[in-house]
Amino acid sequence: MDPQIPTSKGPRWSVTINHHSYVWDESWDPASLALRKQQALIHKIVDASVWGLFVIGVVAWLIPLIVHVTSGGFFALFSLQMVLWNVLVPSVTGVILTATGLVGCFFFYRLVSRLQIHLTIPCRNQDLSEPLPEVQGYGGGSTRSITPLFDGAAQKAIQDAYELAVRFGHAQVEPIHLLIGTLSAQSVSVLFARLGLVFETIKDILQRRLASRLPGTPTIFSSETEQILLRAFVSAYGQDRQRISVVEIFAECYRADSFWRELLYDVSIDETKLLNVVEWMRIIEKMRERHEQFQQSALLKPTGPMNRAMTSVSTPILDSFANDLTLEAVRGSLPMLIGREQEMEDMLRMIEGGQQSVLLVGPDGVGKTALVAGLAQRMVEERVPNLLQDKRLISLSLPFLVSGAAPAQVQDRLIQILGEVAQAGNIILVLEDLEHLQEAQGGFELSSLLVDFLSRGLTFAIATTQPRAYVSTLESSAFSRVFQTLMMEEPDHTQAIHILESKMPFLEYEQDVIFTYEAVAKAVELTDRYLHESFLPQKAIEVCQEAALVVRRKQGKGAFVTGEEIAAIVAGKTGIPLTQVATQEKDILLHLEEEMHKRVIGQNEAVSAVASALRRARAELRSTTRPIATFLFLGPTGVGKTELAKTIAATYFGSEKQMLRFDMSEYQEKSSVDRLIGTPGNREGGLLTEAVRRQPFAIVLLDELEKAHPDIVNLFLQVFEDGRLTDTAGRTIDFTNTIIVATSNAGTAYIQDAIAAGESLEQIKTHLLQDQLRAIYRPEFLNRCDGVIVFRPLQKEEIYEIAKLMIAQVTARLEPKGIGFRAEDAALDALVEKGFDPQFGARPLRRVIQEEVENAIAQALLEGQAKRRDTIVLEAGGTIRIESAPVL
């Protein structure tokens, strides 16, 4: 179709690019469709006929030739007679030859003219930050049709959409038809697989939606559909693609159709998720295109030490300590750089502008090496400033350089290497972890040598280092004179997801597994949230590698890696339960209070506040930038404050060992802060920070906080608010997976008096906050606590229950010896009578049980009165009786 001819029906929408109006103007009606199908068949038949004629012609010409050669020998082929026979002397063979030539030309025309695209998507050469053109109402004038710009799969999707609408007798081809049309395309099937979406789950809803469309004939394309197709064209233009793919149509349908958005939202696919998967498909496609272009460019790049201008010399010493990155790039062994365009532009500008060396400063794993590899690839393609063209990028291994040699020898090596670099003149040095040079023996001399060499402008270098090493070693050294610093930050979530998506083809190929989008997103999200010692994207890539290996081993080839597998790997590394709440765990969470009351008697308000906080945390409803919960437990001694903390450790964190207990009475001096977060200048860290760093998923119990120095209480203000604390070594310690419980005896006398006076707990708490605690804690501290929980003194009935628990503990301790134990009710009453003291809670009871029960049992055991299978019975009056087991 000639794009310049205006359509008869007239388009409704258009997009203007470079003063040309692009429209969707294909006529779609049963007759046109049938005609197009017939036309396609005719094309095939004519092409096949022409090709057949050409083959017959060639064979007919070859047969006499072969006969001639076999009878007259190979050299007869070149004989004058042969030439004359075919060309000069009129003959049947001559007719066949010339006719076959004509048919060949005709076939070439048919083949190439069809492949040759008369119209391509215009190149987007302008500034990429310029906004994309809008779809607007068509205002007349000459147009270009976008129809031929859709690739084969996209054209089929549009046709399927139309046929679907016709089959159902619908008046218009609407976005829903277009969407269903795209579903049979392979790329959309892959997209569904990545999203973990099974078509069957949405099939019924789609059918209902289809059934509700307006009937009518003839079926025409709706205005929305026309706009979607134009937007798909704009999207392809924005990405500098040559064709409009079916994925673009799918993405635009999603953007335009609220029903489709709702439907996917219902199956847990939100906009970010879908657009990131669409981007994944684009990234893979772009990588393929770039790889093809790169291979062509790589043919021109020399693979030896000699450059194309032949100005360089061989560099044997340098080669023995270095890696040729440009050579590795030519061989295709370097990963393709995705993202980091800004950093690459900055680096090239620094090199070109100041002709100065560049120091990339960033934590391990953020992509410094990947950026250098990206530069090597651009150097192979010669997509670099003149200064870098026809050059080699050589990575000098500093550990190799300094190892196994005395400082003088290392200096000698470096002098020789720099001499070779200067003489070759085509080498750009890469120095990874530059601080190694400064920190090596004789580092000052080595650094001076390098600085002197670089400052003379003989070449320049690209070095990398970590922020800590930069501050401590390099910033104040002579290197700062010759290196311009380029800070590399950790990529944000979306960028990290895109980088991870670009790694997936290799990972999937290696392990023969398939990653869902959920797995990729979880890898980024969970590693960012829970693994603070390493950085994105490297840590996410490592987790994905592990998950792929595990899935391959457990489920075999072709299995899907889902978010659950990623969560399991991260949970294994951190000890934090991250997988979805299982049914059994759900029951425990729902009945947490009952579970906790098995250990903590009474204190209903405290138990229910804690249980609610734990449920919020496990259901992922809590804030992720603060600790799971922060509590201040107030009350007299022996009422169960510490016991409740232990119970939390056991029920939520899995074991009582998951409790980090700090007796704050040991931190009464101002200097005690150093013990908690580390001494300045010492890299060991403090007691608190190290404990949490090693055990990030735990309960932190701050016993008797009121006794700590006020500066220490202030320190916890930051932890309560931000969920993190920086130790003196500069590490940020994450407290967001801890529950912090501070206990305090402050206001005990008041609580006891108020309870005795019959005041409610709420009244007591209000009075404590407004009056009693003011002198001890600053209001902002109290304000940051999720709950200030008052433990009331224990009643006699509660002490009775606690006595039963303690007796049960004694029974449990005797069980391994094969001896049973029970206390008679009267004995229990007597114990409670003796052990009850409203002032000291359950502590006197523990003493009474120790003195009266455990001592008596110990004596009986030592005297040999109780044997295996016997039962010890505690009777009223504190005496014990042995019930002998029946003789066997």
Partner 1 sequence: MPAIVTFPLAVVREGIQSFFGFPLWWYTRGVVLVAERLKQFWIFSARMTGVSVWMRNLFVPMFGDVSIAGRIISFFLRLIMVMWKIFLLGLWALCLIALFLFYLVLPFICLLGLFYHLSGIFSV
Query: Site residues (CB under 8 A) for partner 1?
Result: 38, 42-43, 45-46, 49-50, 87, 89-92, 94-95, 97-99, 101-102, 105-106, 109-110, 112-113, 116, 299-300, 308-313, 390, 423-425
The least distance separating partner 1 from the CB of residue 160, rounded to whole angstroms, comes to: 24
In angstroms, what is the C-alpha Rg of the chain?
A: 40
C-alpha distances (whole Å) from 59 to each of 55, 94, 97, 102, 790 are 6, 13, 10, 15, 102
Closer Cβ to partner 1, 105 or 756, answer by number: 105
Cβ proximity to partner 1, 49 vs 333, nearer residue: 49
In order of 455, 466, 674, the CA distances from 680 in angstroms are 36, 20, 8
Reading the block at residue 817, the tokens are 């010896």
Write down the least CB distance from residue 68 to partner 1, Å: 18
Least Cα distance to 218 among 32, 35, 38 occurs for 32
Helix, strand, coil percentages (3-state) for the chain, rounded to 5, are: 55, 10, 30
Which CB atom, from 45 or from 387, has the smaller least distance to partner 1?
45
Q: Which is nearer to partner 1, 308 or 657 (CB)?
A: 308
Closest contact distance (angstroms) between CB of 97 and partner 1 is 7
Report whether 239 contacts 251 (CB < 8 A): no
Min dist. Cβ of residue 353 to partner 1 (A)? 22
Q: Which is nearer to partner 1, 313 or 619 (CB)?
A: 313
Minimum distance from residue 426 beta carbon to partner 1 (Å): 9
Per residue in 124-144, is it b (16+ CB within 10 Å) or e — as a string?
A: beeeeeeeebebeebeeeebb
CB 3 within 8 A of CB 143: yes
φ, ψ at 523 (rounded to 5°)? -60, -40
For the CB of residue 523, give the shortest distance to partner 1 in the complex, in Å: 42
- In sequence order, what are the beta bridge partners of 560? 514
Dist CA 791 CA 774 (whole Å): 19
Which CB, 87 or 749, lies closer to partner 1? 87
Residues 6+ apart with CB under 8 A from 147: 1, 24, 25, 26, 155
Question: Nearest 5 degrees, angle CA 792-CA 794-CA 796?
Answer: 150
Specify which residues 854 forms β-bridges with.
none
106 or 259: CB nearest partner 1:
106
Backbone angles phi, psi at 366, to 5 degrees: -85, -10
Task: Rank residues 40 and 756 by Cβ distance to partner 1 and give the closer one.
Answer: 40
Sequence-ordered list of residues with C-beta below 8 angstroms from that of 724, at least 6 positions apart, any chain: 718, 732, 733, 734, 735, 736
Q: Which is nearer to partner 1, 388 or 536 (CB)?
A: 388
Residue of 299, 442, 320 lying closest to 381 (CA atoms):
299
Shortest Å, Cβ 116 to partner 1 = 6
What's the rounded Cα separation, in Å, for the pair 446 and 433? 14
Residue showing tokens 């009578």: 833
Smaller CB separation from partner 1, 39 or 142: 39
In whole angstroms, how close is the CB of 336 to partner 1 at the nearest point? 23
Q: Give min distance, CB of 385 to partner 1, in A.
A: 15
Of 702, 708, 778, the closest CA to residue 735 belongs to 702
Write the single-letter amino acid at 675.
R
Minimum Å gap between C-beta 63 and partner 1 is 17
Distance between CA atoms of residues 540 and 547, nearest Å? 10
Residue 83: CB minimum distance to partner 1, A: 13
Query: Which of 84/267 has CB closer to partner 1?
Result: 84
Query: 304: Cβ–Cβ under 8 A, 6 or more apart, which residues?
Result: none
* Sign of the C-alpha dihedral computed for residues 394, 397, 402 and 404 taken in this order: negative
Query: In the complex, what is the shortest distance from the CB of residue 46 to partner 1, in angstroms, rounded to a whole number?
Result: 5
Which is closer to partner 1, CB of 89 or CB of 406? 89
Nearer to partner 1, 34 or 590 (CB): 34
Give the CA count within 13 Å in the CB-facing half-sphere of 120.
9
- Nearest distance from residue 496's CB to partner 1, in Å? 38
Q: Is the Cβ–Cβ distance between 278 and 255 less than 8 Å?
A: no
- How far is C-alpha 359 from the chain's CA centre? 27
Q: How far is the CB of 145 from partner 1 (least distance, A)?
A: 18
| End-to-end Cα, the chain, rounded Å | 104
Q: Which is nearer to partner 1, 6 or 94 (CB)?
A: 94
Decide: 430 and 394 in contact? Cβ < 8 Å. Answer: yes
Nearest residue (CB) to partner 1, 297 versus 579: 297
- Residue 311 or 855: the one with the smaller Cβ distance to partner 1 is 311
Alpha helices in 723-815 (DSSP H): 748-756, 761-767, 779-784, 796-814
Distance in angstroms (rounded) separating the CA atoms of residues 283 and 297: 21
The residue among 371, 376, 381 whose CA lies nearest residue 339 is 371
Pairwise CA distance, residues 431 & 440, whole Å: 14
Place of tokens 């053109």: 133
Among 560, 511, 543, CA closest to 194: 560
CB closer to partner 1 out of 43 and 291:
43
Residue 25: CB minimum distance to partner 1, A: 23
Nearer to partner 1, 391 or 731 (CB): 391
Closest distance of CB 299 from partner 1, Å:
7
* Residue 66: CB minimum distance to partner 1, A: 20
Q: Cis bond leading into 218, ω under 30°?
A: yes
CB of 59 to partner 1, least distance (A): 18
